Structure 1
């Protein structure tokens, strides 16, 4: 899985990444490293359900922000975990396959990650690695956390919420003299999880900006929520979409995109991660374990969605 491009094409097996994950010696070694039993019975759904339950041992967020994950304290076999994470495609992403994309989706998140993603998308376009009709920034009205405000001040000093941080990045990396046309539904200050925003600015490429409403008001909008808002806004059938994210999140965000965008709308989905040297973050072993759990959860959700379509 180390250098395989994350690409879903209509007519291909959407569970390809799931089969790769379950066949990975690296995943099995990590499970057994933490005294887990490798599941051998049942199909992908049953095996992933077992891994999903086991992976709670890697849930270091406990419902909180990724910023709350403690740094590596030296008690973990860090070098081996990082080597296995690389085998699982979470460290060095494959390059974009190229060609023309109808939409490039720059995924939201913490400030430093968003900045690197926006810069990487602009760099790839500027280098001619691909062409695109529109670049879309996907986020929410999530309030910026204290731990990311210093990063955000460097490029969005007035932004208090994720979507306005993304707007500043869109203006910086895809500049235009054209004004934004923006509509807001709901009250972003009093009920940010119920609110949503849609913005559009003409150009070559055109730029869109989204803040998604959460499908679960106990949390902020997640990646799948932002995919759904984007899909409701465009004619997505049989189109080609590129996701730009951070390398550590690419496997799970790709499977979420296959489930939410690729399967129902019959579109091609490709996901590319920012290379580590451009990511402005050095991820330790705890972060890789956390996002491996995210990958298992997304793989299980994708299998369930595929079975529902049969």
Structure 2
């Protein structure tokens, strides 16, 4: 989000949600668990209130830029923004400081300036038994290990997030298990993209049994839905208005803004199929998003944004999101930024242990996904600051009807009570 793109559709309820976003990040990021992870790499939790001048050289961001106001606020702790408390700006400074450390210590997808790769291609570091145990323990306290049940028994919609290899099928099966256990899933949406199946390690042979002939993640999700819920898919429809994915979508170009590089044409289109049961009754849909970070493939945020644009999200709407457990924190912060902050959707992100083939890689994988969560939390805070700053200067265009929804709780499971910043055992931040 740039300085000129702060969402004008702000209301008191929207400001309340922004305040709550800060509370959630503050609680999750600055406690004993994150302090322990940093200490394992010889790092300390940054001191509160310190100046934090940043450049792309000392904190590489993956294909994104921070708004210019962020650099001003970080470099000068006394700098203020209308509508944003000094505490909130301090939380943002701290988040960027932790991200800078984690981007060096936990980034296994682009080591030493190498090309950014898919998770299955990452060079996961190995650790000795003692250190591995401490990483897993801290990761569990941060919500990456132990699954928790849904908060409610009834939802308006359930979103099954995409992935590679067997993950779409496993997530679909977990959604079915939840339904069999008595959870009303509401309408189902499988969210993915045109990410092409990779050849090393080979993805297609693993998925052939449930998605024969699949060429991308969208195909995997259709196959997973068909196999698990005994449905069939209606003919493909391009939401972007195109008739094929062979050329770049003109609508994508107009929405993305200036971009002079090359991007795979299929990454610029939005696709959709309806899922219907044997009696022709609708069960849900499968969506394929275009990319918001060219030239790279679409990501979770792109798929969530497409779901919101394709439907009618509303304050208090209960939406269940099904993913793998070690993705729960980062995808929770994505959901908060894209669904809760602007629309007031009450999102409940649940995961399960999808059993990594090599459990020896689990500690490194948890660190890698901790970095993903930190970055997602920082994006949430940047948007929350923008909403708060805008809220004191603009009248809302379309304030939501009725009272603001209650602030959602229980996003990130911890087996032990969390320690918030400023307590006696928070690592001294």
**Over residues 123-154 of structure 1, what are the superposed CA-to-partner deviations in whole Å (9 max), with x where a residue is unaligned?**
111221x2133100000011111222232112
Q: Given the alignment of the two structures, is residue 252 of structure 1 paired with residue 330 of structure 2, yes or no?
A: yes
Structure 1: which 5+ residue stretches go unaligned? 1-8
Distance of 1:252 and 1:38 partners within structure 2: 20
Aligned ranges 1:94-113 → 2 under 5 Å: 94-113=148-167
1:91 correspondence with 2:111: no
For the residue of structure 1 that corresponds to 2:189, the secondary structure is: strand
What's the secondary structure of 1:227's corresponding residue? helix
Cα-to-partner distance string for 1:24-73 (whole Å, 9 max, x where unaligned): 21111111221223112231100001011111121110111101123453
Query: Which of 189, 200, 203 in structure 1 is aligned with 2:274?
Result: 200
Partners of 1:284 and 1:22 in 2: how far apart? 21
The count of aligned residue pairs is 298
Q: Determine the C-alpha separation between the residues in 1 that align with 2:306 and 2:122.
A: 29
* In the alignment, structure 1 residue 41 sits paired with structure 2 residue 48: yes
Tell me, in whole angstroms, the C-alpha distance in 2 between the residues paired with 1:22 and 1:216.
26
Residues 112 and 279, structure 1, Cα contact 8 Å, conserved in 2: no
Tell me if 1:50 matches 2:97: yes
Checking the alignment, whether the CA contact within 8 Å between 1:108 and 1:162 is kept in structure 2 is yes
Q: For 2:245 and 2:164, locate their aligned partners in 1 and report how far apart those are by CA, in whole Å.
A: 18
Q: Is the 8 A contact 2:169 2:225 kept in 1?
A: no
What is residue 135 of structure 1 aligned with on the other side? 188
Superposition deviation, residue 258 in structure 1: 0.7
* Map of 1:125 onto structure 2: 179
Measured against aligned partners, the alpha-carbon deviations of 1:84-136 in whole angstroms (never above 9, x if no partner) come to: 111111000211112221110000111222221111001111221x2133100
Verify the 8 A CA contact 2:168 2:221 in the aligned structure 1: yes
Q: Post-superposition shift, 1:280?
A: 5.3
2:101 & 2:125 partners in 1: Cα distance?
Answer: 21
Question: Within 1, Cα distance between the matches of 2:230 and 2:192?
Answer: 19
Equivalent residue runs for 1:158-173 within 5 Å: 158-173=213-228
Secondary structure of the 2:223 match is helix
Contact 1:193 1:221 in 2 (8 A): yes
Residue 81 of structure 1 aligns with which residue? 135
Q: Which residue of 2 aligns with 1:22?
A: 29
> Is the partner of 1:250 in helix, strand or coil?
helix
Query: C-alpha separation between the residues in 2 aligned to 1:166 and 1:179?
Result: 11
Corresponding residue for 1:213? 290
Instruction: Please state whether the residue corresponding to 1:157 is helix, strand or coil.
Output: coil
Flag the 1:223–1:244 CA change in 2: closer, same or farther, 3 A: same
Cα RMSD for the two superposed structures? 2.1
Does residue 229 of structure 1 match 2:306? yes
TM score, norm. by length of structure 2: 0.66
**Residues 60 and 179 (structure 1 numbering): CA distance in 2 closer, same or farther, change over 3 Å?**
closer
Structure with greater strand share of residues: 1
Moved more, 71-80 or 259-268: 71-80
Q: In 2, distance between residues paired with 1:104 and 1:45?
A: 31
Which segment is superposed worse, 278-287 or 34-43? 278-287
Paired with 1:292 and 1:41, the residues of 2 have a C-alpha distance of 21
Q: Larger Rg: 1 or 2? A: 2
CA shift at 1:16, angstroms? 3.6
Q: Deviations over 1:240-279 (max 9, x none)?
A: 21110000000010111010011111211110011x2x44
Q: Name the residue aligned to 2:169.
A: 115
**Alignment of 1:157 onto 2:235:** no
| TM-score, normalised via structure 1 length | 0.89
**1:61 and 2:109 equivalent?**
yes
